[in-house]
């Protein structure tokens, strides 16, 4: 399915519920600007290869465009447009003063040497520097882009414009102006959503069982923080498979096991399960934290969790959403559940433009306030219109963006 068409369906759905004025609705169907650039890169073998790059600037009503840059062979213009639309929704859902943007380059970065990767990253900025800046558009890492790549991009930008502008890019290493807490911010935001939904459905941490698909940056931090709060993490998985013990897993030991064997599989004191089985376990809370489109119309009917906290982007297909809603499974949508990451990216930008550096405690305290407030706001809209939380998040975000006039 074309991701942009999918995004537009979600827009139409929310517009219908909130009775959005048709002219405003029409304007929201288009990104304000989509830039396509050709990036010539001198390869190590002496040839020149030209890569295609994009930057989609969807809407900057609430603040500078914000969103990552993806390096992937499957990048398309429509994917970048859709992702920039969802960034607009995500920033507005948590009410941070940032708009929606996203970038991408069609490349398999694993096939490039470090030097080629650096020249590509600097080349991207050479083509787009007029359109980015801390007051215009603030990129960040995404799939296969790293703090190192952000460092090269910032350096290239500052070299061209001739002055320091650390807030031009976020996701930097702390020594280069990054924020404390960024490494686990996405998970921490998901934890606040879990705490809030658990309260709504009358679960105490000790009585709540959780399964987490994906044990990478987002999933492993989520497991660690939730288990520290007393939640019972009964199953986790990674690309090689999963493990389950309904009595609860010792997450520190699982992390150690993964460090030693590169997988959570074959952990003593647990049973191996597949990545399909983990989604269908009889748990209270399910956390997809790996790939998109894992909850589909084929398996949605078998999901037994009371709530799904979408730490991954796009883990649930629209067909599956309908089945889950009909079955009373509450989905905390990605635009809310994983917005802790972009929120701390906004904090990084805010610290950079103010010349400040906040302690980890300050960052996490501010994050909690924003996430809890956003959760409650979305819940209120859900109750008001009697709709699911994804649609409620879209309605509240579009309300915020359009209330200023487009
Ligand atoms: P990551 O690469 O660190 O981790 C991904 C995890 O998924 C790994 O444990 C990997 O083994 C596992 N995985 C891969 N293929 C799998 C499969 N077929 N089945 C089950 N597990 C599989 O990535 P991440 O940063 O943790 O991101 C995970 C998801 O969260 C993505 O959808 C990403 O877009 C989303 N997200 C992450 C952040 C962030 O700050 N890291 C922010 C917002 C959204």
Compute the C-alpha angle 141/94/283, nearest 5°.
85
273: CA distance to ligand 1 center in Å? 18
Helices (H), 19-58: 22-27
- Every domain of the chain and the residues it spans: 32-180, 184-337
275 CB less than 6 Å from ligand 1?
yes
pLDDT computed for residue 406 by the predictor: 73
Å from CA of 402 to ligand 1 middle: 32
32-180 and 184-337 share one fold: yes
**C-beta of residue 95 within 8 angstroms of C-beta of residue 103:** no
Q: How many angstroms separate the CA atoms of 40 and 37, rounded? A: 10
| CATH code given to domain 184-337 | 3.40.50.720
In 201-250, which ranges are continuous DSSP H helix? 217-228
Show the tokens assigned to 123: 């080349």
Q: Residue 359 belongs to what H/E stretch?
A: none
Verify whether ligand 1 is closer than 6 Å to residue 312 (CB atom): yes
Would residue 236 be called left, alpha or beta, if left means φ above 0 and alpha means ψ between -120 and 50 degrees? beta
Kindly report, residue by residue over 198-243, the tens digit of the pLDDT.
999 999 999 999 999 999 999 999 999 999 999 999 999 999 999 9
- CA angle 181/204/256 to nearest 5° reads 50
Active site annotation includes 366: no
Low-confidence ranges of the chain (pLDDT < 50): none
**Which one of 2.60.120.460, 3.40.50.10860, 3.30.160.20, 3.40.50.2020 gives the CATH number of domain 32-180?**
3.40.50.10860
Ligand 1 centre distance from Cα of residue 346 (Å): 21
Q: What are the CA-CA distances from residue 368 to residues 187, 193, 347, 374 (Å)? A: 12, 10, 13, 10
Strand partners, 228: none
User: Counting atoms of ligand 1 from 1, which one is nearest the CA of 311?
Assistant: 30
Q: Please indicate whether residue 291, judged by its CB atom, sits closer than 6 Å to ligand 1.
A: yes
Query: Of the listed 81, 90, 102, 232, which one is catalytic?
Result: 102
pLDDT single digits (tens) 50-91? 999 999 999 999 999 999 999 999 999 999 999 999 999 999
């Amino acid at each position: 399915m074309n991701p942009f068409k999918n995004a537009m369906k979600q827009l139409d759905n929310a517009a219908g519920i909130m009775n959005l004025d048709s002219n405003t609705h029409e304007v929201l169907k288009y990104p304000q600007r989509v830039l396509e650039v050709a990036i010539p890169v001198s390869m190590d073998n002496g040839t020149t290869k030209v890569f295609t790059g994009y930057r989609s600037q969807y809407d900057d009503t609430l603040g500078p465009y914000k969103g990552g840059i993806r390096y992937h062979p499957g990048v398309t213009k429509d994917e970048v447009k859709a992702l920039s639309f969802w960034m607009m929704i995500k920033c507005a859902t948590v009410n941070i003063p940032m708009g929606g943007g996203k970038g991408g380059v069609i490349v398999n970065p694993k096939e490039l040497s470090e030097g080629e990767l650096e020249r590509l990253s600097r080349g991207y900025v050479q083509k787009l520097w007029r359109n980015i800046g801390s007051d215009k558009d603030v990129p960040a890492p995404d799939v296969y882009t790293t703090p190192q790549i952000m460092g090269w991009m910032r350096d290239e930008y500052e070299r061209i414009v001739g002055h320091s502008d650390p807030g031009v890019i976020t996701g930097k290493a702390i020594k280069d102006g990054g924020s404390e807490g960024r490494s686990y911010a996405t998970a921490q935001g998901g934890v606040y959503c879990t705490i809030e939904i658990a309260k709504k459905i009358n679960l105490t941490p000790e009585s709540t069982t959780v399964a987490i698909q994906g044990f990478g940056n987002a999933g492993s931090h989520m497991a660690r923080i939730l288990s520290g709060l007393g939640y019972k993490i009964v199953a986790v998985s990674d690309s090689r498979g999963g493990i389950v013990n309904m009595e609860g897993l010792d997450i520190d030991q699982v992390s150690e096991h993964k460090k030693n064997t590169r997988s959570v599989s074959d952990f003593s004191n647990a049973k191996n399960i597949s990545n399909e089985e983990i989604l269908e376990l009889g748990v209270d809370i399910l956390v997809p934290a790996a790939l998109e489109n894992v909850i589909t119309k084929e398996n949605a009917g078998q999901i037994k969790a009371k709530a799904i906290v979408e730490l991954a982007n796009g883990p649930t297909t629209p067909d599956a959403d309908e089945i889950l809603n009909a079955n009373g499974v509450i989905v905390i949508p990605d635009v809310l559940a994983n917005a802790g990451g972009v929120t701390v990216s906004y904090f990084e930008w805010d610290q950079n433009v103010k010349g400040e550096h906040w302690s980890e405690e300050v960052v996490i305290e501010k994050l909690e306030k924003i996430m809890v407030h956003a959760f409650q706001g979305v819940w209120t809209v859900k109750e008001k219109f009697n709709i699911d939380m994804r649609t409620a998040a879209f309605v509240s975000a579009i309300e915020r963006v359009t209330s200023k006039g487009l």
